[in-house]
Amino acid sequence: MLTISMGSPDQVCASLRAQIIVAEAQLAGLKRDLANAEQAARSETATIAETQHEEDQNGEERRWPLLQEEYKRYGRQMIVSQVGLKGQLKLRSAKVLLVGAGGLGCPAAQYLAGAGVGTIGLIDGDTVEVSNLHRQVLHRTKNVGKYKVDSAIESLRELNPHPTYIAHRTHLTPEEAPTIFKDYDLILDCTDNPATRYLISDTAVLLGKPLVSASALRTEGQLMVLNNPPRPPGDKTGGPCYRCVFPKPPPADSVVSCADGGILGPVVGTMGVLQALEAIKVITAPEVDGGSNSTTASPRDPPYLHIFSAYSSPLFRTIRLRSRRVNCAVCSAEPTVTLDTIRSGSMDYVFFCGSANLPSLLGPEERISAREYNQRHPNVTSDSSQLHTIIDVRDETQFGICSLQNSINIPISNILSSSYPTALQKADDEQQAAQVPSWLPSEVASSESTNPIYVVCRLGNDSQIVVKKMKELGLDQHGKRFIGDIRGGLRSWKEQVDSSWPEY
């Protein structure tokens, strides 16, 4: 129980910090105990399943391959001609790994569990946050702070207790990927960053695992089934891999996450459900060439890229993909990426995709903290707002959610898409007025004003780009006028100035 000791504010703070340290240590111990208990439970479940399987094979009374409850549970899908009893048995014996237990992984896992996939593995090192709940449908408010894989499996067991659920409470690394993947038949890529996507695809190809890959952002999504049918590197009859479709990663500064770009829950849910559907199709596909691998699909199925757009008509577009590239780094006859290069780390995926962390474009003298800005301009009123200009470069939708008083909204997309000269400082007043870009208020561009200009965005990245653009325009008047950004953006405003500021 939390207790607050009486005393000075410093003593109270010190006491609270000490109690938090103790509570965190207890929580860490409980999490370890839970992990050990769940591991023991899984082992016991696996032993019981093996015993029941042996009894089923040796017992003379067992006439039917499924339990009575399973016939009732899966009956509606077994009477679909593409599945049948044979397909249901393939599902029960299949082992599927989902990399990511978020917006894609939750609906995909939910439908795979509902369909009766025998073993479902989930790998994710993140914990549940409140911001996840609008789209990550397996998680509940009570599980905020809990590992996503544990929260997801808790919901999946309530849905269907028959499958074996395996939790991998870690972020996927090159060293561990081959070891984890080898125990599964099919991989679902439910992640949201390029480096992990290449790692997943490379490992799946080299281990002979089909891969269902999807992505979603804002109102759009993409879906592909890769390395299907799975063939060794150099075999032209195998399906293309992620590198065949995207030989080069996108520029690091062009990659936008859901946290920055936003996402509609039903959009990512649609793509996750489609991943589950494609996984079921791969697992239940008729075997060819007499093979025993239940995840070997017919070569007649060409690879496609399916593009979903929630606000377009039609909702889906489909692009046929080419076969494997002859010079692919992983699935060609002369691959440069192998399991050894993955495990050893010589295949550096972060370096290959570029750093996701944007470098600081401005010097310390060009940036101020949210606290410092508030101290310089406290309780801004309409009259005092003329002493400086604050420009918010978020888009109009985000600006409508919350904004600093008297700030001017100029979306960075408008700034970057406009063309303008870079030598306004050399022009006289009349020429300068004609050359000022349309997005820039005339009072801000005035050569007579030396009032400072502050630029703010959500996280403090876009604001740096805009400051550099404005200085290229000569608006700083050779250093006479301060132009800088608020370091850390509006997230730092909440942390340093106003705790009631909306966090989204």
Strand partners, 215: 222
The answer to whether 258 is a known catalytic residue is yes
Residue 331 near residue 241 (C-beta atoms within 8 A): yes
Q: What amino acid is encoded at 279 in this protein?
A: A
Q: Is 429 annotated as a binding residue?
A: no
Strand partners, 486: 368
Residue (of 123, 109, 124) closest to 183 by Cα position: 123
Cβ-count burial of 401 within 10 angstroms (0-12 exposed, 13-18 middle, 19+ buried)?
Answer: exposed
**Residues 13, 190, 258, 402: which is the catalytic one?**
258
Q: Is 331 annotated as a binding residue?
A: yes
Distance in angstroms (rounded) separating the CA atoms of residues 82 and 64: 20
Phi and psi torsions of 155, nearest 5°? -70, -40
Q: Is 383 annotated as a binding residue?
A: no
**Residues 106, 190, 353, 457: which is the catalytic one?**
457
Which residues, other chains included, contact 82 with Cβ-Cβ below 8 Å and sequence gap of 6+?
281, 284
Phi-psi region of 279 (alpha: psi -120 to 50; beta: other; left: phi over 0): alpha
Half-sphere exposure of 113 (CA within 13 A, CB side): 26
Strand partners, 98: 122, 188
Distance in angstroms (rounded) separating the CA atoms of residues 206 and 203: 5
Q: Is 260 annotated as a binding residue?
A: no
Q: Is 301 annotated as a binding residue?
A: no
Distance in angstroms (rounded) separating the CA atoms of residues 97 and 211: 10
Residue 469 near residue 445 (C-beta atoms within 8 A): no
Residue (of 298, 156, 274) closest to 215 by Cα position: 274
The answer to whether 106 is a known catalytic residue is no
Q: Is 131 annotated as a binding residue?
A: yes
Strand partners, 209: none
Q: What is the pLDDT of residue 281?
A: 97
Residue 81 near residue 74 (C-beta atoms within 8 A): no
The answer to whether the pTM exceeds 0.85 is no
Neighbour count for residue 138 (Cβ, 10 Å): 26
Residue spans of beta strands (DSSP E) within 218-332: 220-226, 304-309, 316-320
Q: Is 272 annotated as a binding residue?
A: no
> Cα–chain-centroid distance for residue 3?
39
Strand partners, 187: 97, 211
CATH architecture of 364-419+434-497: 3-Layer(aba) Sandwich (3.40)
Q: Name the 3-class secondary structure at 296.
A: coil
Residue 353 near residue 200 (C-beta atoms within 8 A): no
Phi and psi torsions of 408, nearest 5°? -105, 130
220-226 and 164-168 strand pairing = unpaired
Read off the tokens for 13: 């703070």
Q: Is 13 annotated as a binding residue?
A: no
Residue 94 near residue 137 (C-beta atoms within 8 A): no
Distance in angstroms (rounded) separating the CA atoms of residues 209 and 187: 7
364-419+434-497 and 67-286+301-344 share a CATH fold: no
Half-sphere exposure of 396 (CA within 13 A, CB side): 1
Read off the tokens for 72: 């009732």
Q: Is 490 annotated as a binding residue?
A: no
User: H or E stretch including 465?
Assistant: helix 462-472
Q: Name the 3-class secondary structure at 281.
A: helix
Phi-psi region of 136 (alpha: psi -120 to 50; beta: other; left: phi over 0): beta
Prior bond of 229 cis (ω within 30°): yes
Q: Is 143 annotated as a binding residue?
A: no
Cα torsion 470, 474, 475, 477: sign: positive
Q: Is 132 annotated as a binding residue?
A: yes
Neighbour count for residue 113 (Cβ, 10 Å): 25
Provide the residue-wise pLDDT of the chain in tens; the chain has 504 residues. 555 556 788 788 888 888 888 887 788 778 777 767 766 665 555 555 554 555 554 544 568 999 999 999 999 999 999 999 999 999 999 999 999 999 999 999 999 999 999 999 999 999 999 999 999 999 999 999 999 999 999 999 999 999 999 999 999 999 999 999 999 999 999 999 999 999 999 999 999 999 999 999 999 999 999 999 999 999 999 999 999 999 999 987 778 888 888 999 999 999 999 999 999 999 999 976 544 444 444 445 789 999 999 999 999 999 999 999 999 999 999 999 999 999 999 999 999 998 656 668 899 999 999 999 999 988 654 444 458 999 999 999 999 999 999 999 999 999 988 765 544 444 454 454 446 678 888 777 777 788 999 999 999 999 999 999 999 988 888 889 999 999 999 999 999 999 999 999
Distance in angstroms (rounded) separating the CA atoms of residues 38 and 502: 38
Distance in angstroms (rounded) separating the CA atoms of residues 410 and 471: 16
Distance in angstroms (rounded) separating the CA atoms of residues 134 and 424: 47
Residue extents of the structural domains in the chain:
67-286+301-344, 364-419+434-497
CATH architecture of 67-286+301-344: 3-Layer(aba) Sandwich (3.40)
Q: What is the pLDDT of residue 473?
A: 86
Q: Is 192 annotated as a binding residue?
A: yes
User: H or E stretch including 69?
Assistant: helix 68-78
Q: What is the DSSP string of 352-415?
A: HH--SSPPP-S-GGGEE-HHHHHHHS-S--TTGGGG-EEEE-S-HHHHHH---TT-EE--HHHH
